Amino acid sequence: MSKVLVVTSGKGGVGKTTTTAALGAALAKGGQSVVLVDFDVGLRNLDLVMGAERRVVFDLINVIQGDANLAQALIKDKRVDNLSLLPASQTRDKDALTSEGVAKVIDELRKKFDWVICDSPAGIERGAQMAMYHADVAVIVTNPEVSSVRDSDRIIGMLDSTTAKAKKGEKLEKHLLITRYDPQRAAKGDMLGTDDVLDILSIPLLGIIPESGDVLRASNVGAPVTIAEPDSAPARAYTDAARRLNGEKLEVTIPTERKGLFDWLFKRRVA
């Protein structure tokens, strides 16, 4: 059974693209076939985060307009089998993203892949609507910070009203993923805690990704953090989140950096 998953947030810069790459790679490493679809027309970045920016020939809009077929536009990942990317167009107009065109491409992708992961652009405009429209599952990426939580609430409202599932009266599976979480700041009471965010948004928690330099390093070198630094704290958190997406029941913990003796002696341990 193929599933269409949208990674969305409303607010920009919270980690949608990082999450799309990391979850997608984790699912593919688990043996399922995965395609990542960038919906950010005009400002694509998933290709860069995946390290495929030099290899883009065709994009989503080329496929929609019939200039290329899907097989030609898909970029296979060189590190992980079963992982492909469909880039967004960098030059075309957003209006080229027609709902019939998107529906056709998503249908075709469903036949080829276990997971079709749609990386939504920020905002609530056409691109974001198109990215979420066909979703069976939504991952709402939220930072523990007031504006991000507010925008997530707005997006949850849209998921419940404007998607194909919602229009058919069916339930869309929604998961909250908290990213850039700093346990030390939360402990000091200076950051919204996980419970606060969960209380306010009241959707199930998929995982908590700790703030980490490993995420930045991974994007620098053009690899999902689950490939570049698979043993790092954020990668372990993403890998667990991917397992939960597949229905595994795992207790949500916040992985911490595995520190050496040196660090342990000089730094207070993170709760």
Give binding residues for ATP as ranges. Answer: 11-18
Do 24 and 223 contact (CB within 8 A), yes or no?
no
68 Cβ contact partners less than 8 Å away, ≥ 6 residues apart:
57, 58, 62
Q: Is 209 or 215 the residue whose CB approaches other proteins more closely? A: 215
How deeply is 198 buried, as exposed, middle or buried, from its count of CB atoms within 10 A (0-12, 13-18, 19+)? middle
Closest CB 263 distance from other proteins, rounded Å: 5
Closest CB 51 distance from other proteins, rounded Å: 8
Residues that bind other proteins in the complex, under the rule CB under 8 A: 48, 51, 53-58, 68-69, 71-72, 90-91, 216-217, 219-222, 259-260, 262-263, 266-267
Q: Is 2 or 90 the residue whose CB approaches other proteins more closely? A: 90
Do 191 and 144 contact (CB within 8 A), yes or no?
yes
Q: Is 167 or 267 the residue whose CB approaches other proteins more closely? A: 267
d(CA 248, CA 244) in angstroms, rounded, equals 5
d(CA 179, CA 14) in angstroms, rounded, equals 7
Q: Is 108 or 145 the residue whose CB approaches other proteins more closely? A: 108
d(CA 63, CA 248) in angstroms, rounded, equals 35
**Phi then psi for 175, rounded to 5 degrees?**
-130, 145
Give binding residues as ranges. Answer: 11-18
Closest CB 116 distance from other proteins, rounded Å: 21
d(CA 212, CA 143) in angstroms, rounded, equals 13
Do 122 and 106 contact (CB within 8 A), yes or no?
no
Closest CB 92 distance from other proteins, rounded Å: 9
Question: Which residue in this structure is represented by tokens 């609530």?
Answer: 124
Q: 35 - beta bridge partners?
A: 84, 116
Closest CB 54 distance from other proteins, rounded Å: 4
Q: Is 170 or 263 the residue whose CB approaches other proteins more closely? A: 263
Closest CB 155 distance from other proteins, rounded Å: 29
d(CA 13, CA 56) in angstroms, rounded, equals 23
Q: Is 23 or 215 the residue whose CB approaches other proteins more closely? A: 215
